Structure 1
């Protein structure tokens, strides 16, 4: 694929954001995550940027509590629902290539799909009304020791027609099934396996060398991969649902996700106007705290800025990626112990984007761990 022109979006760095203030911010963040690790059980990796600069990165704890291998910022984690923004990007790329349209019906790509009136746009914005495949597969898939694929889920839907939650385009209802379908549509439209499309068109061009899709051979991947654990630090083994892709199933590192974040300020993958729709709200109620674009949640923070973000939870992993386009900042946190320690991310957002406080003051503000 020929590389698109960079056309990088620039951000003006204010005079007060000096190398010294960046180091001070990094020191505050180190105090925060050291506190979360020692006192709240955080086990994972983190990378924080501001004005396109990495101001802090760190790794806390173990890839596996049995082997006691230590984490690094190049350790790969299952991204869970943070994968959805990458699935949406695949669809946007195929739209730009003229291989699909957002208003196309699912049947144009999956002819035996049993539900009428559902479009690609509705899948992207969680307005399909479809029931959750992780629930109906538990009832309909006979052998839990046999991995289930996207095609298997589609066959279950065609054969059994699980009841929908809502009629299409009547409600926002967060749907893993919708993003599983988007991966299958991308496969049909591109003519190649979804994992291969992602590698050739996203991971390889962005030099995301430690990023890959789940497969039965994931254990043989090169480099370090964090093992998922329960909140009690017991190892979680992969199960039959892990092989479904699109809504989850992607592994990456905080270092590679920083490359992804930076690429979204360029036109390396899609044109700027194409990407802007991913960051444009789709929910029809006027008074909502949070909106949704294509694979991204959209919400205001205390400072008045509007951020885009997504979180994920799946089988021993939690993930979080937030971007603030106003100051080109990002918070990237990956964990392999879902013990609730990441609920303090709300406090971290308020520390980085404070209410009615100048950024100059926030750089030298009180460390967050003093408030926890």
Structure 2
């Protein structure tokens, strides 16, 4: 399958140093760092003026204090980055990707981003929609004929309104699956076709977050492109955006070499039969690579503005509240009009958070491979950059 010529041209060239791993790198945030060079700015007219040095210095002080209070005594074991207008104004790297081999985490260390993978999977689907290879309203069984639920559409998978059961639950039933065998995406589809498990609710009736939706979307990508999900993601997203340290985990190939996953006490998490399913998880990336992706979402050349609008709007208003879900992105919507977009992730000991302050062109990214809930607190930094009705403890960002 051929994609437009512009896709194969790296739109984002890194001006970041990619030097050797040094322990001092965890304190690398000492200057403004360009994530895109001048030649690559043309498709991304995103307030590309220089940031005021005073603005950068003020934000750094607040962010450094937040980091030290959130992860004191080098306790993060991961990576943290904040950028404005595509420029890194703060980043930290601490800990080890593998305690047994003493490999340290640095700016080029890919960490399992868990469910932040859904943001990337959704984007690949939307790019196929953009090329008119499929439609958001297409029934899933139009693309995957053995899919047994006739009412479910591509959009319902993307916004978690399908009602599908969670594969992690039915694959745990020994009458359904032998846990000594690795489960794959095609196995999930085959099990759905064979057993026709009952839906949790009628399609499009309500929101129900479910990993099965994105495991099936990965198969949709494969069917439409004629390529394995790993290859399709590389060609549609990772390579065009210069995400050189991002890949889709392959159990047999990467189980011993990829960043490992640890419990809070540094005990290694063992892999299990669910570790080779992709689409809902299993992308490994770095904050710098995710920033390249974040910047691309502002460009019509990457994804047309109509589809961007479709992605960044809520679809579930059955219950009052600020929480909602778009197409592969969570959001907080306040009655006052402010919106905050984000996605968190958890798998084994890996926790992740990608926060997008779209109005302010700010990205906040935190990844950790040692279990901690503190990763999820970074969204509270939003008031540092714009008007958001979020209570930020001043003690966390001021002396």
Distance 1:332 1:115 in 2: 36
Tell me the equivalent position of 1:49: 83
Distance 1:347 1:117 in 2: 39
Distance 2:277 2:98 in 1: 24
Shift of 1:281: 1.2
TM-score, normalization by structure 1: 0.89
Check whether the contact 1:309–1:321 (CA below 8 A) recurs between aligned residues: yes
Tell me the equivalent position of 1:3: 6
Provide closer, same or farther for how the CA distance between residues 369 and 26 of structure 1 changes in structure 2, counting only shifts above 3 A.
closer
Provide closer, same or farther for how the CA distance between residues 300 and 281 of structure 1 changes in structure 2, counting only shifts above 3 A.
closer
Alignment of 1:313 with 2:349, yes or no, is no
Matches within 5 A, 1:1-372: 1=3, 2-3=5-6, 7-11=43-47, 18-38=52-72, 41-139=75-173, 140-216=175-251, 217-219=253-255, 225-285=258-318, 287-300=320-333, 305-353=338-386, 368=396
Distance 1:229 1:267 in 2: 39
RMSD, aligned α-carbons: 2.7
Shift of 1:168: 0.6
Distance 1:90 1:12 in 2: 26
**1:259 counterpart SS class:** helix
> Larger RCO: Structure 1 or Structure 2 (Cα < 8 Å, ≥ 6 residues apart)?
1
Distance 2:201 2:389 in 1: 41
Shift of 1:269: 2.4
Note the alpha carbon deviations across 1:287-339, whole angstroms, 9 max, x for none: 32112111001214799631211000011101110111211111000001122
Bigger shift: 259-268 or 2-11?
2-11
Check whether the contact 1:301–1:353 (CA below 8 A) recurs between aligned residues: no
Note the alpha carbon deviations across 1:314-371, whole angstroms, 9 max, x for none: 11101110111211111000001122222533543344446689xxxx9xx9562569
**1:326 counterpart SS class:** helix
TM-score, normalization by structure 2: 0.83
Note the alpha carbon deviations across 1:128-152, whole angstroms, 9 max, x for none: 0111011101115543232111001
Provide closer, same or farther for how the CA distance between residues 166 and 52 of structure 1 changes in structure 2, counting only shifts above 3 A.
same
* Structure 2: stretches of 5+ with no match in the other structure: 12-41
Check whether the contact 1:351–1:368 (CA below 8 A) recurs between aligned residues: no
Distance 1:215 1:343 in 2: 27
